[in-house]
Amino acid sequence: MSVSFIILAAGMGSRMNSDTPKVLHHIAAAPLLHHALTAARNLEPARIVVVTGHEAALVTKSAEAFDPSVECVVQDPQLGTAHAVAQAAPLLAEMSGEAIVLYGDTPFIRPETLEAMLHARARHSVVVLGFEAKDPGRYGRLVTSGESLKKIVEYNDASDEERRITLCNSGVICASAKTLFQLISRVGTANAAAEYYLTDIVEIAQASGLSAGVVICDEAETLGVNTRAQLAEAEAAFQSRARAEALENGVTLTAPETVFFALDTHIGRDAIIGPNVIFGPAVTIESGAEVKAFCHLEGCHISRGAVVGPFARLRPGAELAEDVHVGNFVEIKNAILDEGVKVGHLTYIGDADIGEFSNIGAGTVTCNYDGVMKHRTKIGKRAFIGSATMLVAPVTIGNDALTASGSVITENVPDAALAVGRSKQVNKPGLATKLMARLKAIKAAKGNS
């Protein structure tokens, strides 16, 4: 079954009190829009169209960063939800399959729910996603008769009797692309807001002899984000669900409530995640790896048997092979660490390749930036880098080579060689006592002045 998605992302989000478009605010280290795009992509759609408006260029850039095949159109002026969907007509009107309308500020619609809507299309021309609300508030109400959906009435236009209905409208709608755009072309503005309401297509369908039905989901799926408070609520909801899924999938979380996942975090079974670990985007952890407390990870891959932390930071491009050990207060960026490498503590490894079973001493720094360009450090197999070594890139350390502690290495080191790059030590007998006495005298003089 061919399906296309129309994602509405044109609103300003004035209640967020922000210069940033609402759909670009983040939960789980990803824009709200990316959550909606993820839900759509899970159904392997033929087309995805994002309808932009406020700060259209920024929203388009974000959508294309997620998936370059996403198509964006601009709604200007913004005359309501039906008008927004109509902007996608030039791209999708000739599509023979289904069309589903999603919202860029509603991040939790599950793929299973969307599939249920597609299945319901076998019985109805138009399918609306509804939910039973604990507090219906100002949601639009779904007016039904048996299995048939008669109409959707917005709160401002609802009678007292209709406002007592608890079955509410999520805004998500499914129909064939052809039917959807035909119905939208007949929507008018006879409502309290004088806007083109997408919800009006239900009554128009009924009047045309087409049936409309409802698929009901859990209210939590329909959580929309309009305020900072709702953004925080959405973050908490995502994290709670992600933690539960990780535990169910065989991941050990020693203090689940302190671990924060990103939208695209992937962790294999039997991995162990310690307290206060933060996942940024694009992290993959293989089965059997361990991340200890207070680590921050983003854009990295950790292989089976590797141990990271505590207090380590892995930045984008960090690739850890099997049985690598990265210890406390170590930062890794754009570096490949082969099997068995050990980087114990207090070290920065950036733009580097480290061969298997090499050992990197405490306080080592790959000096990768010359103020204009980045340069790469290459360390061979079984090398031993002494503590406090400065590796001034570009530089290559050979297999089985050693560097003396405190060295500044500016030239390549051959295989099996010992490199010493430090000044000769000179001792001045008695000078320490004299120097300290002089410094104390200067301090005392300043105190009396």
Please tell me whether residues 217 and 84 are part of one structural domain: yes
For residue 192, being part of any structural domain is answered with yes
Please tell me whether residues 216 and 349 are part of one structural domain: no
For residue 438, being part of any structural domain is answered with yes
For residue 116, being part of any structural domain is answered with yes
For residue 293, being part of any structural domain is answered with no
pLDDT tens, residue by residue, 98-114: 999 999 999 999 999 99
Residues 278 and 64: their CA atoms lie apart, in Å, by 26
What CATH number corresponds to the domain at position 11?
3.90.550.10
Q: Is 266 a known active-site residue?
A: no
For residue 306, being part of any structural domain is answered with no
- For residue 434, the enclosing domain spans 344-449
- Phi, psi (degrees; rounded to nearest 5) at 3: -140, 140
The residue among 222, 253, 273 that closes a domain is 222
pLDDT tens, residue by residue, 343-374: 999 999 999 999 999 999 999 999 999 999 99
Answer whether 0.95 is exceeded by the pTM.
no
The residue among 171, 195, 222 that closes a domain is 222
Please tell me whether residues 60 and 191 are part of one structural domain: yes
Q: What's the whole-number average pLDDT of the chain?
A: 96
Number of domains making up the chain: 2
* Peptide bond between residue 77 and the one before it cis (omega within 30 degrees of 0): yes
For residue 167, being part of any structural domain is answered with yes
Please tell me whether residues 217 and 360 are part of one structural domain: no
Catalytic residue among 25, 35, 83, 345: 345
What CATH number corresponds to the domain at position 400?
2.160.10.10
Residues 83 and 198: their CA atoms lie apart, in Å, by 8
The pLDDT of 371-393, averaged and rounded, is 97
Residue 397's H or E segment, with its range, is strand 395-397
For residue 174, being part of any structural domain is answered with yes
DSSP string, 263-302: TT-EE-TT-EE-TT-EE-SS-EE-TT-EE-SS-EE-SEEE
Upper half-sphere CA count for residue 263 (Cβ side, 13 Å): 18
The pLDDT-based confidence of 448 (bands split at 50, 70, 90) is low
pLDDT tens, residue by residue, 424-436: 889 999 999 999 9
pLDDT tens, residue by residue, 266-317: 999 999 999 999 999 999 999 999 999 999 999 999 999 999 999 999 999 9
The pLDDT of 152-164, averaged and rounded, is 92
The residue among 166, 190, 222 that closes a domain is 222
pLDDT at position 139, please? 92
For residue 322, being part of any structural domain is answered with no
